[in-house]
A and B are shown apart, each in its own frame.
Chain A
């Protein structure tokens, strides 16, 4: 039934039994020489209560090559940005260039010991310092720390800085009256989590029918003198630019609060507009989104925080700073130092300098693009999203009229009349060789499909994606069952996600009836 569709990528269709099932009694990946020293009783080395009694029952007995082949075969089941389009809205899955990987592997950086002294790590510190300079220029915010290890970590660091600032400005007693953090209903779930962990109570701001922050509701919430700040994503998670951002910042500032911007969607702004110029006080960036460092399991992430001059004293320590050394020959040279002497700092938030390998990749990305290139990347990211928005308009419901920025939200409203929902459309997209888009987020849009192509995609692939989505829309009308039961061409069909979450099988167990191992986790 799938003979008519154009398949962009092929799936590896061979199944693979679990490593436990590949076990053969007596096989091993090692061979030890005969013992040539007196044998020591195990009890003398490891106390009896630390020893297992089950003799490692059920552990797979396999050779090295069994293990290598097993995991290599399974690795071919992965879908990755190196295989094709990964249109996860709000996640910015852009291509990670090989040059950046090469830079991160330069031995002098990769092998540097994290405890090396300042004097022995001048090059590494210079990389941190230069990346800091670029990011502060990109955001228009002069204070910076590269320590946070990911986006939510950056968020929380930013919110802690807001709290420390208000404590210092108002005094502890008065500051305790300001414990409300305002967050729009379209925000990422990590925003309220960060605020809550930092001791704030969250109040939700409504979105207008246009998909933007409701200014009247914001004013109303700001009228009680308890607002510490606002956490705003711009463009917001609906892919729309908050065009009233300056007014929003003014309202919050007049109420005595600060504005934190979630930089998850900076891919739409880099080189074009600066949060600092909009009135934002503190922002985090995702190097693993906007600056093309690897993502998810390929990470780790990196979530630098940038802030205004007023908030700078509260940034985590140590700060990486530059000093000038006067040489004996009269020539001045820069010396990079770790500055721990910041009494108002919120303290350290991550060991050493943060996820250093990501900083190398991000600096490489910035330098290879140059500022014109960064701007072009932003323009291409927005153009690509708008191209998809235009291409799908005839077949899918677009809940907001405004032209999208780097990502566009559609819904399943038209397909739902035939009983075909967002999940089904996403699953069917796999049959066409694409990773599905983000689904059911933002939460305020029923049946949301959030599509972010990024700038790494060419027109041909955009057309293929649009054609696949339009084809699915036709199938939803002509043969809904085909979509409802998708995917059809993958190694495993539709999984029962509810059963997996309700009755999870988290580990393999030997079969009780006999000693022959078997998988209980097979779907």
Chain B
């Protein structure tokens, strides 16, 4: 079973958000990386770009397919994980840690509350695979 940490917020597009003050750290879930297979390339935005919630901010290319990744919340990109340029495998190995993708300065703190909890996300992925 895929790992779903308690302290994160989740989107139906299989991204996770960790809130650190007014910053949202965003990545894709363990379930998502399992479904994608070996990740070979991650395309990320530049710091300073603004994104609305649920907007595509980049893409993940695996041996199976290229998939868009979406911002669960709106905000301005403050930092992107440059390590993924050379080591995209971090997304597979440590999706909630070294495989993080972008940090956003959130424009609205309330948005995370509309995301799924760990338990809700687990139920959602279960229902999806039925």
Contact = CB atoms under 8 A, between A and B. Distances in A.
B89 A498 contact: yes
B127 interface: no
Nearest to B88: A502
Contact of B63 (A189, A441, A443, A501): A501
Nearest to A440: B64
A498 B63 contact: yes
A446 B67 CA distance: 14
Interface in B89-130: 89, 129
A522 B119 CA distance: 47
Interface in A382-404: none
B7 interface: no
A497 interface: yes
B84 to A, nearest CB: 11
B19 to A, nearest CB: 29
Interface residues of A, number: 11
Given A440-B64, A440-B65, A501 B41 contact: yes
B38 interface: yes
B14 to A, nearest CB: 13
Interface string A189-230: 100000000000000000000000000000000000000000
Interface string A435-455: 000011101001000000000
**What secondary structure prevails in chain A residues at the interface with B?**
mixed
Contacts of A497: 38, 63
Given A440-B64, A497-B63, A501-B63, A446 B35 contact: yes
Interface string A165-205: 00000000000000000000000010000000000000000
A443 B88 contact: no
24 contacts: A189-B66, A423-B37, A423-B63, A439-B64, A440-B64, A440-B65, A441-B65, A443-B65, A497-B38, A497-B63, A498-B37, A498-B38, A498-B39, A498-B40, A498-B63, A498-B89, A501-B38, A501-B40, A501-B41, A501-B61, A501-B63, A502-B40, A502-B41, A502-B88
Interface of B: 35, 37-41, 61, 63-67, 88-89, 129
Interface of A: 189, 423, 439-441, 443, 446, 497-498, 501-502
